[in-house]
C-alpha cells in the first residue's frame, strides 16, 4: 500500500505558484488577490477559510476575508457579491458553503460572476467543464485529478466508482474521470444513496472515490484487493483526548481498508490540502484571465 500524500503534493504546487508570483511581482505587477466570504460561525468553515488565507500568504497572494453575521439577510450577501464582481482589485472569490438555512445557495451561486468563480460552481463554468472547454474546475475534483497525475497513476480503462453525486464533488469527479484525458478515460459509475447492491458495486471498482459524507462508510469488505481509494470525507467527531475536542474522520475505514489498497488517501493530508492547492491554481488562472493589474 502506498499513501497518496496530498500534503507533500500540495506543497510542491504551492512552491510552483510562489515562484510564478515572485516573477509577476518582480515585473512590477500586483500579486493575485483572492477574497473569501464567510457567513456565520460554523467552526469547520472558519477553519477552512483560515487555511485558505494562510495558503494565500504562503504563495504571496493578497487575500481578503469578508465576515458576515449568521443573521445577515440574503440580499446583503447578494449585494456583497455584486460588489466583489465589480471590484477590479479582486481576481476571484469564494462564498464558503454551507450557508445559513435562510439563504438560497443557488441564488448566491447564480450571482457570482463566472469570471471570478474560482470555486467553479456557476452554471457557465459547470457547463464548460461538461463540454471540455477552459473553465474553473471545482477545487476538490480538480485536486484529486492532480494527485492522480502527480503519482502517475494509470486510470485508462479502469472502473472508477464515485460514491456521492454532489454538485461540487461527485458529479464533476465522474465527468473528469470519464473524459478523454490522462488521468481520465476511466469507465465511471456514479453511485449514490439510492444505488442498489452498493457493496457488490464497490467490489468491482479499480478506483473508488468516496464523497458520501458518512463516517467510515466504506469498510474493508467493500474494497477489491489492489484498489485505489480516495477519501473525500472529513467529519468532525467529538474526541476528549484531542486538544481541539474533536478529530476528523473520513468516509473510509482507513485502518482496515488500507491493507487491501494499492494506493489510498488519509483523511488529513490527503484530499483536503489538494483542494486548497486547486483553489490557488484557479485564483492564479483568474488573475491571468482577468489580466490583473
Ligand atoms: N464548503 C466545502 N467545500 C467547499 C468548497 O470547495 N468551496 C466552498 N465555497 N465551500 C465549500
Burial tier of 187 (Cβ tally within 10 Å: 0-12, 13-18, 19+): middle
CATH number at residue 242: 3.40.50.720
- For residue 104, what are the domain limits? 30-113
> Does ligand 1 come within 6 angstroms of the Cβ of 95?
yes
Distance in Å, CA 279 to ligand 1 centroid: 10
CATH number at residue 92: 3.40.50.10860
216 and 169 housed in the same domain: yes
The three-state DSSP-derived secondary structure of 36-83 is: EEEECCCHHHHHHHHHHHHHHHHHCCEEEEEEECCCCCHHHHHHHHHH
93 and 152 housed in the same domain: no
What is the model's pTM? 0.95
Closest atom of ligand 1 to CA, residue 275: 6
- The helix or strand, by DSSP H or E, that contains position 2, with its residue range, turns out to be strand 2-3
> Does ligand 1 come within 6 angstroms of the Cβ of 78?
no
Q: Could you give the CA distance from residue 55 to residue 47 in angstroms, rounded to a whole number? A: 12
pLDDT of residue 72: 98
Domain assignment present for 284:
no
Look at the alpha carbons of 264, 160, 143, 103 in this order and tell me if their dihedral is positive or negative: negative
Closest atom of ligand 1 to CA, residue 119: 7
152 and 252 housed in the same domain: yes
- pLDDT grade, residue 48 (50/70/90)? very high
Residue with the nearest Cα to atom 1 of ligand 1?
Answer: 97
Each residue's pLDDT tens digit, 121-163: 999 999 999 999 999 999 999 999 999 999 999 999 999 999 9
Each residue's pLDDT tens digit, 166-206: 999 999 999 999 999 999 999 999 999 999 999 999 999 99
pLDDT of 211 above 70: yes
Q: Could you give the CA distance from residue 190 to residue 209 in angstroms, rounded to a whole number? A: 10
Of 36, 51, 66, 96, the one to substitute when testing ligand 1's pocket (max ligand atoms within 8 A of C-beta) is 96
Each residue's pLDDT tens digit, 222-271: 999 999 999 999 999 999 999 999 999 999 999 999 999 999 999 999 99
* Domain count across the chain: 2
232 and 155 housed in the same domain: yes
164 and 96 housed in the same domain: no
pLDDT of 292 above 80: no
153 and 258 housed in the same domain: yes
Please say if 231 is a catalytic residue.
Answer: no
Amino acid at each position: 500500500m502506498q499513501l497518496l500524500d496530498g500534503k507533500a503534493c500540495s506543497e510542491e504546487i504551492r512552491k510552483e505558484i510562489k515562484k510564478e508570483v515572485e516573477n509577476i511581482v518582480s515585473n512590477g505587477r500586483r500579486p493575485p488577490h483572492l477574497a473569501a466570504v464567510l457567513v456565520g460561525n460554523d467552526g469547520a468553515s472558519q477553519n477552512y477559510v483560515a487555511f485558505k488565507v494562510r495558503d494565500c500568504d504562503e504563495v504571496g497572494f493578497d487575500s481578503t476575508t469578508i465576515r458576515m453575521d449568521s443573521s445577515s439577510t440574503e440580499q446583503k450577501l447578494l449585494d456583497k457579491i455584486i460588489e466583489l464582481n465589480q471590484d477590479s482589485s479582486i481576481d476571484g472569490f469564494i462564498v464558503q458553503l454551507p450557508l445559513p438555512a435562510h439563504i438560497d445557495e443557488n441564488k448566491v451561486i447564480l450571482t457570482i460572476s463566472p469570471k471570478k468563480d474560482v470555486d467553479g460552481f456557476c452554471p457557465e463554468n459547470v457547463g464548460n467543464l461538461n463540454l471540455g472547454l477552459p473553465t474553473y474546475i471545482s477545487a476538490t475534483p480538480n485536486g484529486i485529478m492532480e494527485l492522480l497525475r502527480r503519482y502517475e497513476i494509470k486510470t485508462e480503462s479502469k472502473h472508477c466508482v464515485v460514491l456521492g453525486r454532489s454538485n461540487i464533488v461527485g458529479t464533476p469527479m465522474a465527468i473528469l474521470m470519464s473524459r478523454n484525458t490522462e488521468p481520465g478515460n476511466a469507465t465511471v459509475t456514479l453511485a449514490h444513496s439510492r444505488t442498489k447492491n452498493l457493496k457488490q458495486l464497490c467490489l468491482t471498482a479499480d478506483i473508488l472515490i468516496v464523497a458520501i459524507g458518512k463516517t467510515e462508510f466504506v469498510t474493508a469488505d467493500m474494497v477489491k484487493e489492489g484498489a485505489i481509494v480516495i477519501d473525500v470525507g472529513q467529519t468532525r467527531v467529538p474526541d476528549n483526548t484531542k486538544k481541539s475536542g474533536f478529530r476528523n474522520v473520513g468516509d473510509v475505514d482507513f485502518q482496515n481498508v488500507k491493507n487491501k489498497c494499492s494506493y489510498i488517501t488519509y483523511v488529513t493530508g490527503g484530499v483536503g490540502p489538494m483542494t486548497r492547492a486547486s483553489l490557488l491554481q484557479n485564483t492564479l488562472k483568474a488573475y491571468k484571465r482577468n489580466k490583473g493589474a
